[in-house]
Structure 1
């Protein structure tokens, strides 16, 4: 496959984003476009939040609705790009369940293919991991050991797959890869779909429709919600500093937004002006017997590497909730509708 370089008005970089039509991928793409870069988006459409129509007519954007494995199999040369961001992955505590028993392989296989292609092309690579890899509660730093909980639920299979992609990326630096791993903590905001089982868009859409707001496990879980726009800003404005720092893994989260899930439900109800009741239910009753809560009841990021690269999060919790409410007052949930 021959990729013609895209040349926007003030081209600085041409960035390949796998999973580029997904929740995180589109926010990352938008941030690079706003900074004057060009993007190529590769997405299998399995968890896309758009069909790509809002990018039509933009000369700085190329879209390939194909898996990254097939994209590479067709002969794509990553030397055409200045940077590769690998965000493609099955994700979400509910949506991963249908891949039980093959989830880990699919995560690892796709990442392996991207790593090898970046090595061959000599291109820098950012790989998205997950805070799920920690396997425990508390304040979680990049240097902490990881724990593998048992029994091996689908959620644990996901975490093991992500941990293995981290090891592959960091070990490949000994083979010449210029690679960085991002561990995001509960990234959320506009466009995120309830289809994955994500709590923020689920609560927001329930509140806006007057349906009961369904809280699992008593709502005692503590999460530090990060705006997708803050994550994207790190990649556009601070990636070079992070790559130069020598850190292989960077946590991205917002400790100031730490809140219990039950308190989140109350905040969303209030900010949406909703009359929805808040009800306590068993997650298995909604998503099936394979559903499990995360091993980390309290999941709080330590941001040493990100702060050293000059980044701090900006979007507060209420603002993040309001952005999500505003989006779903005027947009449908594309991914949930497509899955229905």
Structure 2
């Protein structure tokens, strides 16, 4: 991986905005809420708690500028805000495949409802899309101009095609109503507050290592992913939302271009935890991408953004979080999910 420039100045966010974050008690959403509050904004966090958890925002509940609302975005929402970050949707295969119809509704109906709210308020709105719109890519690394290679009827389609349709809706509202939109394609992200039971590779490996369980490698472990620490991701998200002119709509890839095999990730986790867990192989899931790496040229040129946190540094922080988590009562709460 090339050396990363750590000299950029974090995005400066103008104050006095009331901001809606859907999916705000989830992994990424909770970090975004925290960052927006630190910048002096009022934050309305909306979540139906399907994968999010109150524990993720418990430290924010007494903040004078924070409000938490239980609501499902598949139903209309009538609030007054200046900006909307639409993060609501389960993002791991275990969760989005549990109820594929509801996953599609969350992406599509949720987008329609949030776009309708933004249109009524003439509010800027950002869609958290995903690298899954590229499917199992035949172009590597993946630029925003690549249209993808997605199986529309496979087990991952409820998420992949739901997010693709949401992007279409956002640009339709842009063309038809001149709505100020932003579309961000999120690549693999990790860090504290990941759901421990969501089946994602980073949280899986860390928990298995810390509990001395066998570490499961799907396939031969030579498939690749690129891992972005959550603080870097949130910085990119805010930069895209605040980028002027508003004609900069995206889509923009936000992720870490450092590419690692899944086997290398497992070996790094074993080293950092000191675990003696064995590596065991399992069959590769259907339609699981063999390669995933973002081309972040647009993010660099339009947002002056690139990640600053190397994988080993981010993993150390994430391991420390899960080590404390497993020793706490929160583990029992998540075990019920």
Tell me, yes or no, whether TM beats 0.5. yes
Secondary structure, aligned partner of 1:301 = coil
- Tell me the secondary structure at the aligned position of residue 16 of structure 2: coil
Q: Deviations over 1:95-129 (max 9, x none)?
A: 11211344323321111111111111100000111
Contact 2:61 2:68 in 1 (8 A): no
| Structural mapping, 1:57-72, within 5 Å | 57-70=62-75, 72=77
Which residue number corresponds to residue 304 of structure 2? 310
- Which aligned pairs between 1:314-333 and structure 2 lie closer than 5 A? 314-332=308-326
The structural deviation recorded for 1:149 is: 2.3
Q: Matches of 1:193 and 1:117 in 2, distance apart? A: 29
Contact 1:49 1:334 in 2 (8 A): no
Q: Counterparts of 1:134 and 1:49 in 2: how far apart (Å)?
A: 29
Please give the secondary structure, in 2, of the residue aligned with 1:106: helix
Distance (whole Å) between structure 2 residues aligned to residue 215 and residue 254 of structure 1: 22
Q: Alpha-carbon deviations, 1:30-77, whole Å to 9, x = none?
A: 1112222221100001011434322121101100022134461xxx23
Secondary structure, aligned partner of 2:24: coil
| Native 8 Å contact 1:133 1:146 kept in 2 | yes
5 Å-filtered alignment, 1:1-340, equals 11-51=15-55, 52-70=57-75, 72=77, 76-77=78-79, 80-137=80-137, 138-149=140-151, 152-174=153-175, 175-241=177-243, 244=246, 246-256=248-258, 258-282=259-283, 292-294=286-288, 296-308=289-301, 309-332=303-326, 337-340=334-337
Moved more, 161-170 or 32-41: 32-41
Task: Find the residue that maps to 1:280 and give its secondary structure.
Answer: strand
Instruction: Indicate the larger mover: 57-66 or 325-334.
Output: 325-334
In structure 2, the CA distance between the partners of 1:148 and 1:56, relative to structure 1 (3 Å rule), is: closer
Take 2:245 and 2:197, find their aligned partners in 1: how far apart are those partners?
Answer: 34
- Cα separation, partners in 2 of 1:227 and 1:264, compared to 1, 3 Å: same
Q: Do the aligned residues in 1 keep the contact of 2:187 with 2:228 (CA within 8 Å)?
A: yes
Distance 1:239 1:103, change over 3 A: closer
Question: CA deviation digits over 1:170-225, x for unaligned, max 9?
Answer: 12111121001110110111111232211101100111111111111111111110
CA distance in 1: counterparts of 2:334 and 2:203, whole angstroms: 14
Q: CA deviation at 1:82?
A: 1.8
Give the whole-Å Cα distance in 1 for the aligned partners of 2:19 and 2:95: 27
Cα distance in 2 for partners of 1:229, 1:189 equals 8
Taking structure 1 as the reference length, the TM-score comes to 0.87
Q: What TM-score, normalized to structure 2?
A: 0.88
Structure 1: stretches of 5+ with no match in the other structure: 1-9, 284-290
Aligned to 2:11: none
Question: How many residues are treated as equivalent by the alignment?
Answer: 316
Check conservation: 2:134, 2:149, Cα contact below 8 A: yes
Does the residue aligned with 1:302 lie in a helix, a strand or coil? Answer: coil
Displacement of 1:146 in angstroms is 2.4
Counterpart CA distance in 1 for 2:323 and 2:106 is: 35
Is contact 1:50–1:334 with CA below 8 Å preserved after alignment? no
